[in-house]
Amino acid sequence: MHTKTAQTVVIDAFGGSDKLRLEDRPVGDPGPGEIRIRHEACGLNFIDVYQRTGLYPLPLPTALGMEAAGIVEAVGDGVTHLKPGDRAAYASAPPGAYCSARVMPAAQVCPLPDAIGFEEGAAMMLKGLTVQYLFQRTVPLKRGDTVLFHAAAGGVGLIACQWARDEGITLIATAGSDEKCQLALDHGATHAINYRTEDFAARVRDLTDGRGVDAVMDSVGKDTFEGSLNSLRPLGMMITFGNASGKVPPVDVGMLAAKGSLQLTRPTLFTHTSDHATCQKMAANLFDKVTRGAVKIRIDQRFPLAEVAAAHDALETRKTTGATILMP
């Protein structure tokens, strides 16, 4: 099987969802260290929005999309962990996953277990590997620890709620409506706070008997940053891993001392997965959680690839819960 051309979502300029367009692109053969993959489903993530708007600038024109799942059609020289006909999924650079097929580097593409469907595979790699590094690779977290997790009803959040439950970690969720709070609780959060009606930092203090949480996992950014710091115990870890509400302004590091010798980090998934062996090991940990049923991947929105602009609009206006996928 050789897919000759692929419908691919491209932008020529940064801006709104109106900048997204579909074009037919030729799909060649994989070179050394590459594969050609035919996509069955593609994932949608906030990083795609940041790239589209230019918050994370890319050389233009550029294809978009960071995760997908499908069937390997061909492998280049030196690729040993995949072969033609294999089911596979990935969350990796370079962008270009919003398409029906592509040639791409193989190192971060992972064999997908038969027990996991293509739609789940496309919906879980970027979000699930993000949760994996947050809980397993950023700060030592153990059974009985407490974390505060913002936007807990989103795609990353619902995986995090289940992950925390499986690891015996108390997760305090925040979300923007009572319905979303209930969704987080249904997925394993211990407590949930509607940040629109409550001061979440004050409520966290109540829930932790004044102590504060061991870690905050914050992808919201500007709107929650200060409250997040105020929710931490002394020596606690602030993990800022996204900016759905806008970029966090420059930080006066002296504030970290004043608030209890706090730690602050800004990780990205792609630093953690840049090593092939580490990436495959992280994926194996995620696949184990999903195949055991400890983590269920909830897909609440599906859009045809041609309706990618509507999918972006839904994500940006916080109309989505769980994961969103694009169907090529």
**pLDDT digits 0-9 by tens, 222-243:** 999 999 999 999 999 999 998 8
pLDDT in tens, 174-216: 999 999 999 999 999 999 999 999 999 999 999 999 999 999 9
**How far apart are the C-alpha atoms of 288 and 295, rounded to whole Å?**
9
Q: Which residue has the tokens 């929105």?
A: 301
CA dihedral over 215, 54, 305, 107, signed as positive or negative = negative
pLDDT at position 321 is 84
pLDDT in tens, 90-103: 999 899 999 999 99
How far apart, in whole angstroms, are the C-alpha atoms of residue 62 and residue 79?
26
Residue listed under structure tokens 């690729």: 79
pLDDT tens figures, 27-79: 999 999 999 999 999 999 989 999 999 989 999 999 999 999 999 999 999 99
What integer pLDDT is reported at residue 322 of this predicted model? 85
The confidence band for 1, taking pLDDT boundaries of 50, 70 and 90, is: low
Tokens of 125: 């790699």
Report the Cα–Cα distance between both ends of the chain, in Å, rounded.
Answer: 17
Q: Which residues contact 40 (CB under 8 A, 6 or more apart)?
A: 69, 70, 71, 118, 119, 122, 328
Dihedral angle of Cα 95, 99, 105, 111, to the nearest 10 degrees: 120
pTM (global) more than 0.85: yes
**120 vs 58, 134, 190, 308, CA distance in Å?**
28, 20, 25, 18
> Residue 140's pLDDT is what?
94
Residues 264-294 have pLDDT tens digits of 999 999 999 999 999 999 999 999 999 999 9
Domain residue ranges in the chain: 5-126+270-327, 139-266
Which of the listed CATH numbers 3.90.1150.10, 3.20.20.105, 3.90.180.10, 3.40.50.450 matches domain 5-126+270-327? Answer: 3.90.180.10
CATH 3.40.50.720 holds for 139-266: yes
